[in-house]
Amino acid sequence: MEFKMIKRIYIGFILIVTTLSVSCKENETNDNWEEIPVAESDVDSYITTANQTMLFEKVPIYFNTKDNMSPYTITLDATVKYQQIDGFGAAFTGSTCYNLMKMPVEKRKALLKETFDPNEGMGYSYIRISIGCSDFSLSEYTYCDTPGIANFAIQEEEKKYIFPVLKEILSINPHVKIMASPWTAPRWMKVNNLTELQPYNSWTSGQLNPACYQDYAAYFVKYIQAMEKEGFTIDAVTIQNEPLNRGNSASMFMTWQEQADFIKSALGPKFRENGIKTKIVVYDHNYDYDAWKPDSKDQTKYPLHIYADAEAAQYVDGAAYHAYGGDKSELLEVHNNRPDKNLYFTEISIGLWGGGYKFGDDLMWNLREVGIGTLNNWSKSVIVWNFMLDDKHGPYRPGGCDMCLGAVDVNSSDYSTVKKNSHYYDVAHLSKVIKPGAYRIKSSDLNIDGLTYVAALNPDHSFGMVVLNEQTTPQNITVNDRKHTFSYKLPPQSVTSFHWK
């Protein structure tokens, strides 16, 4: 009897409280009562795991309110600055732009906004394009396939596919930088070798005829000027994509001796004469200089040889590298020899070779060796290859890569269904929290196997940090920026990006 009475009183009390609560909520809405603000997180973090249970998942973190004595504290020192960052992104080849233009307009715009928007999206900030065709184009072409530099003209394939995509990207983020690289000079400028100097009418291999140095320098100038008229500022050019690779579907062999001669006798003076501010970047190939090839044995330390020629070096901003051979430590050696010259990482692909593509394995390797690894060895940029391919790995040219995957793959049956691969997240984890103009800064070394990280101070004085945990167990860390600390348990085999002011 007493229990039933108590139960009725309790239920009545709950009903009254519920009614008052609803009434108060209605009053809040109708009478514009001031809402209690929700505390914003001190640190924004973004997490991707190798097993894909978390894909760039945002998690709020708050500063520690008490002194933290964690033995796993990474201390940042913003007073010690290293290289300034130019940006992060992907190659927008002819194949990439063809696939994008086949997508429904709204889906393409949504993908590009998610990728390039610096506030609401991933904030990609640097792209690489080809000067003429590449092994991922719809056809072989240069801008001057009819002999005579007076015949220079932008090709229709670019006007139809590449230019519209570039314009959409720049409408989203006008500050995106563009690097451009040729896969070959026009065929009429090529010879079989520098001894016989016989005409070499082939897209693959051959060498630049020294008699055409002035025409080829004018070719670069005309290209930069033509792109400027279209609304595209070319921030940097490399002189030749993979100059020690004769075998690509479009290619041209070019030694360091040739690049040095071309720069000092033609390209550098021609840029200066025409007021071209575009940076000249040399090399653009593997860390190991393909030294195992018979004709590349004397090509090791390629950029250092060019820098040793003061007449050529005065025009050169730096050197670019790929990661298909050798080790990232080569960047540190080149930097230590010439700290006044810049370094750029411009290409690495994922694909079906070596046992097939595995999201987690590639996520871990590329962040350790490329994303974080090259930054910690003085690179100013990280650019992957390609942004988008279809489910058949193309379109690609015969002789080019038929097993490559894009950072994003699109299904060619509808050009609507997209799959984001590990490269998409590799770049996103960098570009979301480390902004163009940031400086890499000093961070203490915990010396824990499987834990790799890089930290930067952004132009707005916010911090960006990317941490890779390759361990199969979680890892507790504390970050100390000398004003604030925060702690987080990194998931096993994951990458986490942090951003805070």
Residues pairing with 344 in the sheet: 320
Domain boundary among 402, 433, 464: 433
Domain boundary among 433, 452, 473: 433
Domain boundary among 433, 459, 479: 433
- CATH number where 158 lies: 3.20.20.80
Do residue 199 and residue 346 come from a single domain? yes
Do residue 380 and residue 467 come from a single domain? no
**165-175: b (≥16 Cβ within 10 Å) or e:** bbebbbebbee
Do residue 225 and residue 341 come from a single domain? yes
Look at residue 44 in the predicted model and tell me its pLDDT. Answer: 98
Single pTM value for the model: 0.92
Cα separation, 121 vs 100, whole angstroms: 18
* DSSP state letters, 198-240: -B---SSS-EE-GGGHHHHHHHHHHHHHHHHHTT----EEES-
Give the number of domains in the chain.
3
Do residue 60 and residue 27 come from a single domain? no
Sheet-wide strand order for 43-49: 57-61, 43-49, 494-500, 463-469, 451-457, 439-443, 73-84, 475-480, 485-490
Do residue 399 and residue 454 come from a single domain? no
Cα separation, 23 vs 25, whole angstroms: 5
Do residue 295 and residue 417 come from a single domain? yes
Do residue 318 and residue 223 come from a single domain? yes
Residues 6+ apart with CB under 8 A from 491: 47, 49, 54, 469, 474
Do residue 114 and residue 191 come from a single domain? yes
Do residue 343 and residue 392 come from a single domain? yes
Q: What is the pLDDT along the chain (501 residues), one digit of tens a residue?
A: 333 333 333 333 333 333 333 333 333 333 333 344 446 899 999 999 999 999 999 999 999 998 777 899 999 999 999 999 999 999 999 999 999 999 999 999 999 999 999 999 999 999 999 999 999 999 999 999 999 999 999 999 999 999 999 999 999 999 999 999 999 999 999 999 999 999 999 999 999 999 999 999 999 999 999 999 999 999 999 999 999 999 999 999 999 999 999 999 999 999 999 999 999 999 999 999 999 999 999 999 999 999 999 999 999 999 999 999 999 999 999 999 999 999 999 999 999 999 899 999 999 999 999 999 999 999 999 999 999 999 999 999 998 899 999 999 999 999 999 999 999 999 999 999 999 999 999 999 999 999 999 999 999 999 999 999 999 999 999 999 999 999 999 999 999 999 999
Do residue 22 and residue 110 come from a single domain? no
Do residue 156 and residue 304 come from a single domain? yes
Question: Which domain covers residue 54, as residue numbers?
Answer: 43-80+442-500
Please report where in the chains the tokens 């290209």 appear, as a residue. 223
Whether the bond between 386 and the residue before it is cis, its omega within 30 degrees of 0, is yes
341 contacts 317 by C-beta, under 8 angstroms: yes
Do residue 451 and residue 363 come from a single domain? no
